[in-house]
Amino acid sequence: MSSMDFESPDVEKEFPGLYASESSRRSDSDYGDSGHERGGKKELLRSKKKDKKEKNKDKGYAALGEDSSPDDMDQSDSKSPLKPKKPKSFKFLHKREKDKEDKEKEREKDKEDRRDDKRRDDRKKEKEEKKEEKKKEKEDKKGDKKKEKEDKKGDKKKEKEKEKEERRREKEEKKKIKKDKKKKLEEVYEEELPVFGVPLYVAVERCPSHDGIHLPVIVRECIDYIEEHGLHCEGIYRLSGVKSKVQHLRRQYNSGDPVRLTDQEPHVVASLLKQYLRELPEPVLTVDMMPHFEDVAMIPNPAERAEAMRQLIDRLPTANRLLVQYMFKHMGHIIARVSTY
């Protein structure tokens, strides 16, 4: 059987399966150009789909990153029906909430800062108020202390004034008493006219010295006699004379009778002078000047002490000053004589 017999249509009808591959091949060969065309269309469709997907992706990211309108979002969703829908502006809403939270936190922080500032201000005010209160208390205390000091000063002044007044009254009373005593003594002395036991100025008036010096005659005569006859005697004022002879001379001077000391021993005359000085009603340095003499005696420097003593002696009454000067001079002669023994 030839090939042409197999290619007849009758054979194909009797044996359809035998020539199936060939028919298909033919059809494929016949429609070869159309297959190529189909494949190109598929590729074009696939590339378009990819472009659409990429565009949709770009649009979605743009909507999330930028402020895209809801119409654009709807259009992008309508263009990509196969793509699953995502929650609209999720990240944007989350960001807003976060911003709100941040703002609330900032507000709370501002409130806390304001509260802290207020607390600090309150503390500062409290400290300042406490300081002012302390200052006021100190000022009040100072004022109270000043008042107390002033009151004390006033009290001290009053006390001093009272003391001065009391001293003045005491001095006046003492002066009155002294005056009364002097008057009484003068009255007695006028009756008896004694020399012993009377004030120095009264003895000077009653028994003045022969050369006009304001000293009682007994003092002048006794000193002159001892200067002439008693300087060589040992213990002239330390040893006592005969008491009866001393009393006899005392009565003669008190009665105003003439007295001869040349008939007596030097120790008797010295004892007579000591008795006269001992019986003076007032000290030779006077009661008023005695404290000043005591203060001067405490000066350590001899030159200053002697000068101060000289000034005080010059302030004494005339009879007292002359008596002190004569006695100092007389005692100086005795001391000088003693050093030669």
**pLDDT tens digits, 166-219:** 888 888 888 888 778 767 655 554 445 789 999 999 999 988 888 888 899 999
Q: Report CA Rg, the chain.
A: 76
H/E run at residue 131? helix 90-192
pLDDT at 170: 86
- Tell me the pLDDT band of 228, cut-offs 50, 70 and 90: very high
Q: Cβ distance 229 to 266 under 8 Å? A: yes
φ, ψ of residue 145 in degrees (nearest 5): -65, -45
pLDDT at 187: 59
Q: Reduced to 3 states, what is the DSSP secondary structure of residue 193?
A: coil
φ, ψ of residue 304 in degrees (nearest 5): -65, -40
Q: Cβ distance 226 to 269 under 8 Å? A: yes
Q: Cβ distance 234 to 341 under 8 Å? A: yes
pLDDT greater than 70 at residue 2: no
pLDDT greater than 60 at residue 318: yes
pLDDT at 93: 54
Provide the 10 A C-beta neighbour count for residue 171: 11
Q: If you average pLDDT over every residue of the chain, what do you get?
A: 77
Cα dihedral 27, 31, 32, 38 sign: negative
CA distances (Å), 138 to each of 124, 127, 161, 179, in order?
Answer: 21, 16, 33, 59
Q: Cβ distance 62 to 78 under 8 Å? A: no
Provide the 10 A C-beta neighbour count for residue 58: 11
φ, ψ of residue 84 in degrees (nearest 5): -70, 140
Q: Measured in whole angstroms, how far is the alpha carbon of residue 69 from the centre of its chain?
A: 80
